Amino acid sequence: MAPKSLHLFLFVCSRANINMPVLRTLSKVAKQALLVSQGCGCQPLTVAVRNISFSPRQVTSDASFHSVSFSETDHPKVLITGGLGQLGVGLAKVLRKRFGNNNVILSDIRKPPSHVFHSGPFIYSDILDYKNLREIVVNNRITWLVHYSALLSAVGEANVPLARAVNITGLHNILDIAAEHGLRLFVPSTIGAFGPTSPRNPTPDLCIQRPRTIYGVSKVHAELMGEYYHHRYGLDFRCLRYPGIISADSQPGGGTTDYAVQIFHDAIKTGKFECNLRPDTRLPMMYIDDCLRATVEIMESPVDTLSMRTYNINAMSFTPEELAQEVMKQLPDLEVSYDVDQVRQAIADSWPMNFDDDNARRDWGWKHDYDLPELVQTMFNYIGSETRLAQVN
């Protein structure tokens, strides 16, 4: 091969997406070729070889990554994807109080409401745009990444290709960027990650998982990929399986567990409530304050306290009938009826009835604050005050 042709060949290789081992081999061959050419009296040739920046997409077999450690005076710099959801906004509020307002960045592809936009840093971010995500992480010196972006069950079933792109391809982008930059990564999972063949009462951390929704399938995929990146590359991946989350400041959206929010709104407004699940349908539930606190605690837990990377967490487990009885202690005249939605009932029947979270309680000291009586009182206090304020206005 002529020197100029060899030069051009290696330059093209360096500009192409060729991984480092292959490029090293090409460089070695080029040097040998140059020695031969010099022995033949040819002019020496300078070979241009680009140093390719590291990416897990080009990872070598002996690569190892480590999460960033913090001194007592340092704070993590946190990026929350899908941050305009209920959990993202709530977690940002908690973390900003803990680490400082400017150390927590919310991101989403939607326009934030005014009160969220003015509450702290917000940035547009599409998790399907790998280059943009990398720029955000680098330019803002991110050290923790909380990945809430996902299409949930109902929307996902209505648009499986989009759910596959957001929940799986988006996750792969997040994993690669987190590993490349040594981030501590949190990805939530769900009771929907289990299926009808899983043990239901209680459901342990490790058991068969065969969900029947694209959302559930994508969450099992996220658990396994995160654990693989941890064992393969040392990524500091952390995951909690959330039960049904109940919040007073969000409107029910028609989900399977949303009856546990709807009952409070209907009880205060009309004094009547119609439940779309059987009265004996038992599901694990948690008040949002416990959920957010658990997320902060697992992120702050020392690495050597974690015996696994994906944990169940639980607070309470109740049926619609048990919830209604607790509500009627405060509103005795509440009228409760049942009109079972077979689709939602089938989903609920495939989910855990109770989470076994002994590992979380043992490893990093998880302990919930809200049981059913405290939950009911808190919901009434909040929704009742909001209703009175609306009436005054």
pLDDT at 253: 66
The domain locations on the chain are 3-52, 150-392
Q: At residue 71, what is the residue type?
A: S
Q: What is the pTM of this model?
A: 0.80
| Phi/psi at 241 (5° precision) | -90, 110
State the CB neighbour count (10 A cutoff) for residue 154: 16
Phi-psi region of 32 (alpha: psi -120 to 50; beta: other; left: phi over 0): alpha
Rg of the chain over all Cα atoms, to the nearest angstrom? 26
**Better-scored residue on pLDDT, 383 or 153:** 383
pLDDT at 390: 53
> Which residues are the active-site residues?
215
pLDDT at 51: 35
pLDDT at 315: 97
Residue range 351-374: average pLDDT? 97
Tokens of 178: 């987190």
pLDDT at 28: 53
Q: Are 351 and 358 in contact (CB under 8 A)?
A: no
Taking only the tens place, the pLDDT of each residue in 258-282 is 899 999 999 999 999 999 999 999 9
Q: Are 307 and 359 in contact (CB under 8 A)?
A: yes
Residues 6+ apart with CB under 8 A from 358: none
pLDDT at 223: 98
pLDDT at 42: 41
Round the average pLDDT of the chain to a whole number and report it. 85
Taking only the tens place, the pLDDT of each residue in 301-325 is 999 999 999 999 999 999 999 999 9
| Nearest by Cα to 275 from 343, 346, 349, 339 | 339
pLDDT at 120: 97
Residues 6+ apart with CB under 8 A from 200: 194, 351, 352, 353, 354
CATH topology for 150-392? Answer: Rossmann fold (3.40.50)
